[in-house]
């Protein structure tokens, strides 16, 4: 049983062969693929995909850059305009109806945009945290360069059900947060060529490790399109580092997934 807790199967790169991608994931042994939303279009498509494919579990969110689409002059690439508060309300409706497995992705980004946008990002992040807490749903967090601030906000809201996706901060900060708050960290499939992710695989508490792809991004082989079945490679690495069999590593991560997302 393998799981990908962070994918973007709504991406245009999957438009022509999604059936095949999902089939390959099942054949590789995956039993769940969480597709994460970014803005109105992907959020709605995810709900459709979840109806179409039982393996797909929906998470709705607002990407931190999309969360500040009204500040277009501060963003170094084009972002589609939409009403963020309307989208927060849509996510809340879906969460209350029990239609989603998590809120995500959401969080704070200090890589693409600067401090003048942080207050606006935090407003949206906190609104989504409130929905997650009220509906008892886990949060899937994107944070770049603002790991400590994101953790501070989550701790202030007493959030317990958290997965940090593609975490790029200090290893010690992650290990401490995992131990202190019970927060999880999902490790991408490019961990085969990324020392920081390998360090997390070696050092995180075993119960706080999950697997993800962030596909189509972060492929194990540079220049290729990533897809959910590639989580299998990360499980192989985890088994190697911890002295577990591959079956044991897969089972542990699967149980971590079931616990955090209350599945099965
Ligand atoms: Zn993502």
First to last CA, the chain: 12
pLDDT at 240 > cutoff 90: yes
Q: What is the C-alpha separation between 134 and 61, in angstroms, rounded?
A: 15
Q: How confident is the model at residue 264 (pLDDT cuts 50, 70, 90)?
A: confident
CATH class, domain 2-261, is alpha beta
Round the average pLDDT of the chain to a whole number and report it: 98
Distance 97 CA to ligand 1 centre (A): 24
pLDDT at 129 > cutoff 90: yes
State residue 211's pLDDT score.
98
Q: What is the C-alpha separation between 32 and 228, in angstroms, rounded?
A: 9
- Cβ within 8 Å of residue 177, ≥6 positions away: 151, 164, 183
Q: What is the C-alpha separation between 29 and 10, in angstroms, rounded?
A: 21
State residue 111's pLDDT score.
97
- This prediction has a pTM of 0.98
Distance 84 CA to ligand 1 centre (A): 18
205: nearest Cα among 226, 247, 234, 174: 174
Distance 252 CA to ligand 1 centre (A): 23
pLDDT at 184 > cutoff 90: yes
Distance 166 CA to ligand 1 centre (A): 8
Distance 247 CA to ligand 1 centre (A): 27
Give the whole-number percent of the chain exceeding pLDDT 70: 100
Question: Can you tell me whether residue 53 is helix, strand or coil?
Answer: coil
pLDDT at 117 > cutoff 90: yes
Distance 177 CA to ligand 1 centre (A): 21
Q: Which residues pair with 36 in a beta bridge?
A: 59
Alpha-helix residue ranges (DSSP H) falling in the chain: 18-28, 40-52, 84-96, 118-135, 147-156, 171-181, 195-203, 231-242, 246-261
Q: Which residues pair with 167 in a beta bridge?
A: none
Rounded average pLDDT over 197-209: 98
Q: How confident is the model at residue 88 (pLDDT cuts 50, 70, 90)?
A: very high
Rounded average pLDDT over 241-259: 98
Rounded average pLDDT over 76-95: 97
Distance 212 CA to ligand 1 centre (A): 10
Distance 236 CA to ligand 1 centre (A): 22
State residue 60's pLDDT score.
98
Distance 145 CA to ligand 1 centre (A): 15
Distance 75 CA to ligand 1 centre (A): 18
Contact indicator for 96, 111 with CB cutoff of 8 Å:
no
């Amino acid at each position: 049983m393998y799981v990908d807790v962070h994918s973007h199967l709504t991406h245009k790169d999957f438009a022509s062969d999604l059936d095949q991608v999902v089939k390959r994931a099942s054949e590789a042994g995956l039993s769940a693929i969480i597709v994460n939303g970014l803005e109105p279009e992907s959020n709605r498509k995810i709900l459709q995909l979840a109806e179409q494919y039982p393996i797909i579990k929906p998470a709705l969110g607002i990407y931190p850059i999309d969360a500040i689409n009204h500040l277009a002059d501060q963003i170094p690439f084009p972002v589609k305009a939409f009403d963020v508060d309307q989208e927060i309300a849509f996510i809340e409706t879906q969460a209350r109806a029990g239609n989603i497995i998590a809120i995500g992705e959401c969080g704070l980004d200090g890589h693409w945009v600067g401090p003048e946008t942080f207050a606006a990002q935090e407003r949206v992040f906190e609104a989504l945290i409130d929905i997650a807490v009220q509906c008892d749903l886990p949060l899937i967090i994107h944070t770049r360069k603002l790991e400590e601030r994101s953790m501070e906000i989550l701790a202030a809201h007493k959030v317990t059900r958290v997965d940090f996706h593609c975490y790029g901060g200090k290893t010690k900060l992650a290990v401490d947060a995992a131990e202190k708050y019970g927060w999880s960290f999902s490790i991408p499939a490019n961990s085969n060529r990324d020392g920081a992710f390998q360090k997390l695989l070696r050092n995180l508490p075993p119960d706080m490790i999950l697997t993800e792809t962030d596909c189509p991004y972060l492929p194990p082989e540079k220049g290729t399109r990533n897809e959910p079945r590639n989580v299998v490679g990360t499980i192989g690495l985890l088994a190697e580092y911890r002295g577990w069999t591959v079956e044991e590593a897969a089972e542990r991560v699967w149980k971590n997934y079931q616990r955090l997302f209350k599945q099965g």
